[in-house]
């Protein structure tokens, strides 16, 4: 917590999820209540019942031989036939508009984030559309804010998808910049995102994003790690585990018209907007 960047992201995460204890970083005081016996209790509880575990195995293997291994090693793991249920802990994001400013650190550097959120319909098409939108948004932010305006040191954007308690998404922008220009640059950030909603961009940005994603897919599909992570993620999102093999077909459906429609849906900073700005501490 002595690192200003850690403090910034801890504050951001805390505000996004209304200070929910399950959605913020571990803090030093949280460690005071831990003990080896309590950790062991949790471990034995979770790994004493494999009846509802899902196992993914990818790679080059003999299926008959693998089934024998599963019967020998996985089938003999302890089970208690419990029926665990995912509880609603009300870990939901903020609503409405809010701006938080605070001072931390002595370097001449400011961090600023804008977060929006809303309900989400989980589907393979929507997931890839969101990824494409984030890629196009990054290119426009890089050009409009970092390159055309002075004072920005770095700028990024990303999204998150959550299934529980009800599916929702968050969209986040983050930049480091000159403290004296933070308000002007942040306004330019939001204006750039708004231009995507209005369709004020060229087709070439969508084409470039699809080309990049297609090339990444062609390389990734060759690796076991991609298959494994994709199947795990799909299971968690409640989707068929093999949807990613249809990525090329979905890419072919994405164009500027479809992306602009997605931007109107997901870049709703006019409805839900959390601004977090960390300024340097004033010199004594």
* CA–CA gap between residue 27 and residue 18 (Å, rounded): 16
Q: Is residue 62 part of a domain?
A: yes
- Same domain membership, residue 9 and residue 73: no
- Same domain membership, residue 117 and residue 201: yes
Number of domains the chain is built from: 2
- Same domain membership, residue 275 and residue 248: yes
The per-residue pLDDT for 284 is 54
The per-residue pLDDT for 175 is 98
* CA–CA gap between residue 137 and residue 206 (Å, rounded): 10
Which structural domain range is residue 37 located in? 21-88
State how far the alpha carbon of 1 is from the alpha carbons of 10, 76, 105, 239, in Å: 9, 45, 11, 38
* CA–CA gap between residue 262 and residue 265 (Å, rounded): 5
Contact, 12 vs 276, CB < 8 A? yes
* CA–CA gap between residue 197 and residue 190 (Å, rounded): 11
Q: Is residue 245 part of a domain?
A: yes
Residues in the chain: 284
- Same domain membership, residue 58 and residue 173: no
- Same domain membership, residue 229 and residue 151: yes
CATH number, domain of 210, equals 3.30.830.10
* CA–CA gap between residue 188 and residue 186 (Å, rounded): 5
- Same domain membership, residue 69 and residue 109: no
Q: Is residue 177 part of a domain?
A: yes
* CA–CA gap between residue 240 and residue 243 (Å, rounded): 6
Q: What is the DSSP letter of 130?
A: H
The per-residue pLDDT for 33 is 83
Q: Is residue 284 part of a domain?
A: no
- Same domain membership, residue 128 and residue 38: no
Q: Is residue 221 part of a domain?
A: yes
Contact, 137 vs 156, CB < 8 A? no
Which residues, including other chains, have CB under 8 Å from residue 137's CB and lie 6 or more apart? Answer: 157, 192, 193, 196, 267
State how far the alpha carbon of 113 is from the alpha carbons of 3, 99, 271, in Å: 17, 10, 16
Q: Please list the pLDDT of the chain residue by residue as tens digits (284 residues).
A: 889 999 999 999 999 999 999 998 888 888 888 899 999 999 999 999 998 899 999 999 999 999 999 999 999 999 998 888 889 999 999 999 999 999 999 888 999 999 999 999 999 999 999 999 999 999 999 999 999 999 999 999 999 999 999 999 999 999 999 999 999 999 999 999 999 999 999 999 999 999 999 999 999 999 999 999 999 999 999 999 999 999 999 999 999 999 999 999 999 999 999 999 999 998 65
The per-residue pLDDT for 204 is 97
* CA–CA gap between residue 97 and residue 227 (Å, rounded): 39
The per-residue pLDDT for 83 is 87
Contact, 78 vs 51, CB < 8 A? no
The per-residue pLDDT for 27 is 84
Nearest to 265 by CA among 200, 169, 190: 169
- Same domain membership, residue 104 and residue 232: yes
- Same domain membership, residue 30 and residue 160: no
Domain boundary among 43, 72, 88: 88
Query: Which alpha helices (H) appear in the chain, and where do they start and end?
Result: 4-16, 28-31, 36-46, 63-69, 124-141, 182-197, 203-220, 224-237, 247-251, 256-266
Q: Is residue 114 part of a domain?
A: yes
Indicate the pairing of strand 97-103 with strand 273-279: parallel
* CA–CA gap between residue 164 and residue 210 (Å, rounded): 30
Q: Is residue 95 part of a domain?
A: yes
- Same domain membership, residue 25 and residue 12: no
Domain boundary among 37, 53, 88: 88
- Token readout for 59 is 């790679």
Contact, 275 vs 100, CB < 8 A? yes
- Same domain membership, residue 216 and residue 120: yes
- Same domain membership, residue 187 and residue 272: yes
Q: Is residue 133 part of a domain?
A: yes
The per-residue pLDDT for 84 is 87
Domain boundary among 38, 59, 88: 88
């Amino acid at each position: 917590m002595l690192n200003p960047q850690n403090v910034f992201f801890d504050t951001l995460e805390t505000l996004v999820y209304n200070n929910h204890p399950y959605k913020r970083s571990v803090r030093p005081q949280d460690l005071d209540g831990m003990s080896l016996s309590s950790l062991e209790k949790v471990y034995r509880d979770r790994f004493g019942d494999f009846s509802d575990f899902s196992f993914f195995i990818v790679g080059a293997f003999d299926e008959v031989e693998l089934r024998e291994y599963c019967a020998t090693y996985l089938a003999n793991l302890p089970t208690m036939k419990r029926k665990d249920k995912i509880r609603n802990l009300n870990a939901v994001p903020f609503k409405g508009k809010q701006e938080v400013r605070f001072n931390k650190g002595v370097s001449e550097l400011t961090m600023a984030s804008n977060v929006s959120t809303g309900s989400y319909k989980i589907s393979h098409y929507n997931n890839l559309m969101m990824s494409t939108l984030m890629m196009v948004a990054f290119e426009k932010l890089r050009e409009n804010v970092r390159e055309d305006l002075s004072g920005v040191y770095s700028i990024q954007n990303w999204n998150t998808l959550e299934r529980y308690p009800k599916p929702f998404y968050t969209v986040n922008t983050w930049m480091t910049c000159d403290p004296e220009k933070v308000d002007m640059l942040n306004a330019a950030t939001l204006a750039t995102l708004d231009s995507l909603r209005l369709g004020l961009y060229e087709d070439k940005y969508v084409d470039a994003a699809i080309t990049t994603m297609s090339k990444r897919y062609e390389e990734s599909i060759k690796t076991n790690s991609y298959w494994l992570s994709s199947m795990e993620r799909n299971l968690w999102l409640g989707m068929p585990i093999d949807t990613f093999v249809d990525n090329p077909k979905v890419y072919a459906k994405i164009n500027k018209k479809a992306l602009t429609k997605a931007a109107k849906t997901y870049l709703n900073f006019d409805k839900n907007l959390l601004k977090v700005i960390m300024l340097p501490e004033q010199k004594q």
